[in-house]
C-alpha cells in the first residue's frame, strides 16, 4: 500500500519566470512525453472496449475478465450476522458485520492483526494456521464463549483474497500467482479454500466459508448496497482494477453453464493487464525501463503507467536521466540516494504537488531530507511540473477504463465507487479523472457529469459479508450456479 502524508492546504500556482531556457526546454519535452490529449484518450478507450469484449470470449485476451459467481446486486434487505476476512499485504483484518432490517444499513466491529513478514515466504500450513488463530481470537473476544463448539450455528464468512485467482465456484479459488510480497511455496496452482477450511476444522471454529472474493468485486457490491446508482467498482491504489455487472449471455466463456442470458454476473476485470501488446498505450522511454526491470516484463502494461506503486519510480527515472544525459540537473551533487530503485513512492509526488509556497520551500526541504540534494528554485519548478505531469497522466488514463465499461454497457448515467490510496489521497486525482471522462464521453459543458466517480464503501469488509449473504440467499432460492459446497449453508 502506498503511504500518503496527511492532506495539507491547497497548493499555490507555479511560476516559470525565473527558469533558464535549458530547463524550460526540458520541461517542454517532458510535457510532450507525458501529456495525453483528447484524441489519444478516445483511441485508448475504443481499444479498451474491444479488449474487454475479447476477455469475455472463449479464446480470452490480455484482460482476464474473471467471472466471480456473484449473481446480482443486494436489494438492501439482506439480514444476518456475517464474518469477513481481509487478507492484505500488511495486515489481516477480521470483521463482524450485522445487516439489520433497515434498508442499506450495517453495523461493523473489526480487529487488525499484523501479517508477519516471515509468514509471507514461509510454509503454506503456517499461513493458514495463523489466519485461523486470528479468527479464533476475534470470535472468543467478541462472543465471550468458553467453548466455540457450543455456538448454536456456524457463522458465514466472506474471504477477501485479493490475489489473482481463477474461480469456477464462488466458494473456491485457484491461486494463479502470489503478489504483494508473498512467495509461499506449494500454493500457486492450488485451490486455497480447502487449505483454509482445514485450518478452521483443526480448531473446530464455528465458521463456514461462504464466498471467496476479490476486493474490487466487494467494492462494487458494498457501494451498490448503500447507493443503488453505483454500477462500477474501481481500485486506484498500489495497483488498479475494476468490476461491473455483466449479463451471462454476454460472457461466451461461461456459455456451457447454460445460464439464463439475462442473469447478472459480476466480472472482475483485472484490467491492469490492458494492452500488454502495446497497441495504443502512450509509453515513454521511462515506462519501458520500468517494465523491463520489473519482475514480470511484458505484463500489467496499463497498471505500470497509472498505479501508485510506479509513479514515484517514473519520477525518479526522469530526474536521473536529466542529471546524467540532459541538462545537468543537480549538477555537481551526489545523487546516489536518487539512484536507488523504488526509493521514492507516490506520496513523494503528492507532497510536491501540495507544496503551498511560491518558493517551493517545502519541496526543497523534502529533497534535502530524503535525497541529500540542494535544489535551486528553477530545479524545484521543473520537479513540480514533472510531478504534475505524471499525476495527471495517471488520472487521465485511469478514466479510460471507466469510460470503456460505460461504452460497452451503454451506461449513460451512474455512480462509480472507487477506493485505493491514489484515489483517496493523491491531490487532484479525482478532478483530473473527471475532466478526462468529460473529454472521452463528449459531455456538454456546464451540466452535471452523468457519470460520477465517488468514494466507495468498504469492499473487503462489508462487501465480503454482503456477498456471503447473497450466496446464502441464492442457495435458499435454488440458484446454485457457481456454488460448489452448499451443505450447511442454510
- Grid coordinates of 450: 452523468
Q: Is 162 a catalytic residue?
A: yes
Which position among 86, 171, 191, 215 bears the catalytic label? Answer: 215
Q: Is 177 a catalytic residue?
A: yes
Show the CA angle centred on residue 199, arms to residues 198 and 201, nearest 5°: 65
Which residues, 6 or more positions from 334, have their beta carbon under 8 angstroms from its beta carbon? 372
Q: Is 432 a catalytic residue?
A: no
Pairing of strands 174-175, 264-268: unpaired
Largest CA distance in the chain: 78
- Which helix (H) or strand (E) is 157 found in, with range? strand 155-161
Instruction: Note every long-range contact of 136-144, with CB atoms under 8 Å and residues 24 or more positions apart, other chains counting.
Output: 136/203, 136/205, 137/111, 137/113, 138/94, 138/96, 138/111, 139/205, 139/206, 139/207, 141/111, 142/96, 142/109
* Alpha-carbon gap, residue 397 to 387, rounded angstroms: 16
Phi then psi dihedrals of residue 432, to 5 deg: -65, -40
Which position among 11, 162, 347, 460 bears the catalytic label? Answer: 162
Pairing of strands 230-236, 207-213: unpaired
Which position among 7, 32, 114, 177 bears the catalytic label? Answer: 177
Listed residue (294, 309, 302, 266) closest to 399, CA to CA = 302
To the nearest 10°, the Cα dihedral for 379, 384, 388, 391?
Answer: 100
DSSP state of 207: E
* Alpha-carbon gap, residue 472 to 490, rounded angstroms: 7
Catalytic residues: 162, 177, 215
Amino acid at each position: 500500500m502506498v503511504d500518503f502524508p496527511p492532506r495539507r492546504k491547497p497548493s499555490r500556482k507555479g511560476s516559470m519566470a525565473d527558469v533558464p531556457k535549458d530547463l524550460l526546454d526540458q520541461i517542454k519535452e517532458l510535457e510532450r512525453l507525458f501529456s495525453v490529449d483528447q484524441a489519444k484518450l478516445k483511441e485508448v478507450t475504443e481499444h479498451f472496449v474491444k479488449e474487454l469484449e475479447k476477455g469475455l470470449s472463449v479464446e480470452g485476451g490480455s484482460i482476464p475478465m474473471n467471472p466471480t459467481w456473484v449473481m446480482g446486486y443486494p436489494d438492501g434487505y439482506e439480514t444476518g450476522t456475517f464474518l469477513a476476512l481481509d487478507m492484505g499485504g500488511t495486515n489481516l483484518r477480521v470483521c463482524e458485520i450485522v445487516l439489520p432490517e433497515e434498508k442499506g444499513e450495517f453495523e461493523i466491529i473489526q480487529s487488525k492483526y499484523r501479517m508477519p513478514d516471515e509468514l509471507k515466504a514461509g510454509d503454506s500450513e503456517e499461513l493458514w494456521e495463523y489466519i485461523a488463530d486470528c479468527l479464533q481470537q476475534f470470535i472468543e473476544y467478541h462472543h465471550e464463549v468458553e467453548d466455540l463448539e457450543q455456538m448454536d450455528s456456524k457463522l458465514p464468512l466472506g474471504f477477501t483474497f485479493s490475489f489473482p485467482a481463477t474461480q469456477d465456484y464462488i466458494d473456491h479459488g485457484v491461486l494463479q500467482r502470489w503478489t504483494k510480497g508473498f512467495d509461499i511455496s506449494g500454493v500457486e496452482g492450488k485451490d486455497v479454500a480447502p487449505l483454509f477450511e482445514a485450518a478452521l476444522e483443526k480448531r473446530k471454529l464455528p465458521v463456514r466459508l461462504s464466498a471467496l472474493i476479490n476486493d474490487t468485486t466487494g467494492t462494487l457490491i458494498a457501494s451498490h448496497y448503500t447507493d443503488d446508482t453505483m454500477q462500477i467498482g474501481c481500485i486506484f491504489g498500489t495497483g488498479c482494477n475494476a468490476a461491473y455487472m455483466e449479463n451471462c449471455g454476454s460472457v461466451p466463456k461461461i456459455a456451457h453453464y447454460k445460464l439464463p442470458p439475462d442473469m447478472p454476473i459480476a466480472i472482475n476485470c483485472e484490467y491492469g493487464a490492458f494492452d500488454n501488446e502495446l497497441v495504443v498505450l502512450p509509453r515513454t522511454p521511462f515506462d519501458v525501463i520500468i517494465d523491463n526491470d520489473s519482475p514480470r516484463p511484458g505484463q500489467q502494461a496499463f497498471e505500470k503507467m497509472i498505479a501508485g506503486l510506479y509513479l514515484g519510480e517514473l519520477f525518479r527515472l526522469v530526474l536521473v536521466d536529466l542529471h546524467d544525459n540532459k541538462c545537468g540537473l543537480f549538477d555537481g551533487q551526489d545523487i546516489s540516494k536518487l539512484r536507488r530503485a523504488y526509493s521514492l513512492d507516490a506520496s513523494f509526488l503528492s507532497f510536491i504537488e501540495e507544496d503551498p509556497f511560491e518558493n517551493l520551500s517545502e519541496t526543497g526541504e523534502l529533497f534535502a531530507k530524503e535525497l541529500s540534494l540542494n535544489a535551486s528554485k528553477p530545479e524545484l519548478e521543473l520537479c513540480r511540473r514533472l510531478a504534475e505531469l505524471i499525476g495527471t497522466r495517471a488520472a487521465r488514463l485511469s478514466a479510460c477504463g471507466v469510460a470503456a465499461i460505460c461504452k460497452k454497457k451503454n451506461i449513460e448515467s451512474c455512480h462509480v465507487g472507487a477506493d485505493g490510496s491514489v484515489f483517496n489521497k493523491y491531490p487532484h486525482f479525482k478532478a483530473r479523472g473527471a475532466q478526462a471522462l468529460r473529454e472521452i464521453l463528449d459531455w456538454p459543458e456546464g451540466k452535471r457529469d452523468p457519470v460520477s466517480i465517488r468514494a466507495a464503501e468498504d469492499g473487503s469488509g462489508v462487501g465480503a459479508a454482503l456477498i456471503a449473504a447473497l450466496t446464502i440467499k441464492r442457495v435458499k432460492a435454488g440458484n446454485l450456479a457457481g456454488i460448489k459446497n452448499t451443505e450447511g449453508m442454510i
